[in-house]
Amino acid sequence: MRRGLSLLLTPLMTTALLAATPVAQAAPEPGCPWVGSDAPVEEKVGQVLSRMTLDEKLGLVHGAAGPFEFVGPTYAGLVPAIPRLCIPQLGLSDGPAGVGNSHTGVTQLPAPLALAASWDRELAAEYGGVIAREVLGKGANVVLGPTVDLLRDPRAGRAFETLGEDPHLVGELAAAQVGGIQDAGALAQAKHLAAYNQETLRNTPADNAVVDERTLQEIYLAPVQDTVDAGVASVMCGYNRLNGVHACNNSYLLNQVLKGQFGFDGFVTSDWFATQASYAAANAGMDLQMPGGCLFGPRLRFGVATGAVPTARLDDMVSRILRPMFRHGLFDRPATGSPDDIVTTPENAGVARRVAERGMVLLKNDDAVLPIQNRRSIAVLGEAAGSGVIGSGGGSPHVIARSIVTPFDGIARRADQDGVEVRFDAGRHADEVAAESDLAVVVVGKWSTESKDNKDIALSAQDNGLIEKVAAANPNTVVVLNTGGPVAMPWLDDVAGVVASWYPGQEYGAALASVLFGDAEPSGRLPVTFPAELADLPTSDPARFPGGRYDEGLAVGYRWYDREGIEPLFPFGHGLSYTTFAYSDLRTDGDTVTVNVTNTGRRAGTEVAQLYVGRPNTGGEPPKRLEGFQRVTLRPGETRQVRFELDERSLAHWDTGSHRWVRAAGDHTLAVGGSSRDLPLSIAVHVPDTTAVSEPTPAPPPGAPAGGDGTLTTLGNVLTCPTEMLYAGAVGAISLVGLPPGKQAEITPVNPSAGG
């Protein structure tokens, strides 16, 4: 997305000028004693800071992209090295689903939403590790991920980039991903702070999320805190305004909550051209401007010189960038890797396949149409099974594979092992091919991308028509959804099976075949509710999406369907298996909850046990929320005890009077089962007294801005930095038309020859 926008806008901006101050490079400090030192991190940060010139400090707080570059140079963003002080460069690389920025020789991982459907913390850490190793192999060292935005509306262009609709699920998996990235030696950057949930007119005053304090804290900020608790090095502020103030100069978000309430000691980076202020952004707590360097270069220099930005704030910005660089060894490792290196490996491809397999959700399986067995012929139908395959969504999460295993290729290879005939048709004669086959697999897709929201949750009329005519021709029809989120299914009653495969990366076909044939047990569970129709969405009112009014409050996702008594098409947490499970003996002991899970079927399988908590005296708020989950793999007949650990927030809510987390007195309900609508066991936990379980949000620091820059400062920004200000507006304008899809793979996917 970033490269595409650059190519689109550059011809329009040839008259723009960017003021820049060159930084002269002095001789290296003798020995750079902080390199290889065992001294405490803060001591090393102080040593470097004390030797830095003003030019060097300013050079560390912004990117090096030129006036006509929307990214780069080389990566999405670059902070040049300072050789005199042995400070290595920072290369910031997209993104949350693998190495992006049009680089090749990388692993195309499944989209984060597919990872979320695995409900697997260990797999999330592996996923993060793959991204980090490949980013480092390309010579960069900062991963622009994980994404901690919630899937508030499935029409959002970046829905596939999220980890689902629930803050606990998002926070747990994002924290695990942070651990995987940083254990591998790269810096993780969680994004976006906060309540960034749409593309329409983003980065403009029209993209203003109006959110009450309790909803903000419990829903949209909670996953950010989880990544901070996991030690995330950086946090990216987003394009949206929050209650009228742009996220990147919002002192409540950055100073009071992130750095104060959460105790974050790393650096805040702007999204690309999301810096809409100079002095106000710095004083509000933003530390690093991306991708260019005017507002935090010449403009910040002037602000420091005039006292509008205290020197101590600039020193804090620099310290926050140096701190994680020391903490994660960037000073002590020689730079390796190159953008031209091939960094994908069979091991990384194996992780991609496991994520795709574990993330596929079996939504419907009438008459045990799956797994495939005792079939002589299979029809694989639809463009999305061949040339129209989608492994990766669009925009900054887009990753280009060397090649993609298409659904047809994967099914055909696996079927060959059993001597099963496989035929293909893109659609024109699909019903005829289906009628002549024992089983029909119809693969359909829906494209989603950063830069443009979708107008609905419908498949194309062509795809819906394809499914309907195939289902009429063959009762054993299975639909595979290659989509970035929930879609409507007007044909649901007419098909025997449905599998949600999401955007499953380069190993798509191999993983799909493994699940369809039963070599891998379908263990994915929905990280998002599938509504029956668009009108059922909590955000169906245009004033909410894309209007920006968040007055559904806490009722996001399944909480809305529960509170309003709406029956979803498929509930949050739902997913079928090739076996069955039973729950028994729910107990609590202090902050520990245990339950027995038994495999009551004839096959081994994996269940995702889910714990939901209901507060006392709800007074109109949603009746329950997810507070724990555990994957458990069981042999036929095996029983295992599953354990959930509650923390200080599990039974608490955000109290807007005291601006802190409070555990309310009364009976809290704990319910356990296999989905948000399948909770066979429950137990009450009595809390005798109302108790505060956190410190309150700190007050604004001295000098914190209430909003953006003043009129004269803004005028100075525009006159000094016209290119940056124009690009900032272009980010929103592009959302009205979107950008064309990038290629899925270096080797273009194709339809098989006629007849398969």
**Residues with catalytic roles:** 271
> How far apart (Å, rounded) are the C-alpha atoms in residues 92 and 111?
19
> How far apart (Å, rounded) are the C-alpha atoms in residues 584 and 431?
46
Neighbouring C-beta atoms of residue 416, cutoff 10 Å: 11
Q: At what angle do helices 121-137 and 167-183 cross, to 10 degrees?
A: 40
Token code pair at residue 509: 């076909």
Q: Backbone phi, then psi, for 318, in 5-degree steps? A: -65, -45
Token code pair at residue 632: 């458990």
Token code pair at residue 241: 């305004």
In order of 133, 238, 321, 379, the CA distances from 137 in angstroms are 6, 28, 22, 41
**93 membership: H or E segment, kind and range:** strand 90-93
Using CB atoms within 10 Å of the CB of residue 368, give its burial: 0 to 12 exposed, 13 to 18 middle, 19+ buried. exposed
Q: At what angle do helices 508-516 and 346-359 cross, to 10 degrees?
A: 50
**175 membership: H or E segment, kind and range:** helix 167-183
As a whole number of Å, the end-to-end CA separation of the chain is 35
Helix (H/G/I), strand (E/B), else coil: 706:
coil
Task: State the maximum Cα–Cα separation within the chain, in Å, rounded to a whole number.
Answer: 80
Q: At what angle do helices 121-137 and 346-359 cross, to 10 degrees?
A: 150
Contacts of 711 (CB under 8 A, 6+ apart): none
Judge whether 337 and 486 are in contact, CB under 8 Å. no
Determine how β-strand 187-193 pairs with β-strand 208-209.
unpaired
Determine how β-strand 377-381 pairs with β-strand 439-446.
parallel
How many residues are there in the chain?
A: 756
> How far apart (Å, rounded) are the C-alpha atoms in residues 3 and 221?
30
**696 membership: H or E segment, kind and range:** none
Judge whether 381 and 466 are in contact, CB under 8 Å. yes
Helix (H/G/I), strand (E/B), else coil: 656:
coil
Helix (H/G/I), strand (E/B), else coil: 268:
strand
Q: Which residue has the tokens 């960069």?
A: 140
Helix (H/G/I), strand (E/B), else coil: 659:
coil
Helix and strand totals (H; E) in the chain: 20, 25
> How far apart (Å, rounded) are the C-alpha atoms in residues 94 and 433?
42
Percent helix / strand / coil, the chain, rounded to 5: 30, 20, 50
> How far apart (Å, rounded) are the C-alpha atoms in residues 500 and 340?
35
Residue 482 CA to chain centroid, in angstroms?
18
> How far apart (Å, rounded) are the C-alpha atoms in residues 26 and 86?
12
Judge whether 508 and 356 are in contact, CB under 8 Å. yes
Token code pair at residue 371: 């797994």
Contacts of 722 (CB under 8 A, 6+ apart): 16, 17, 18
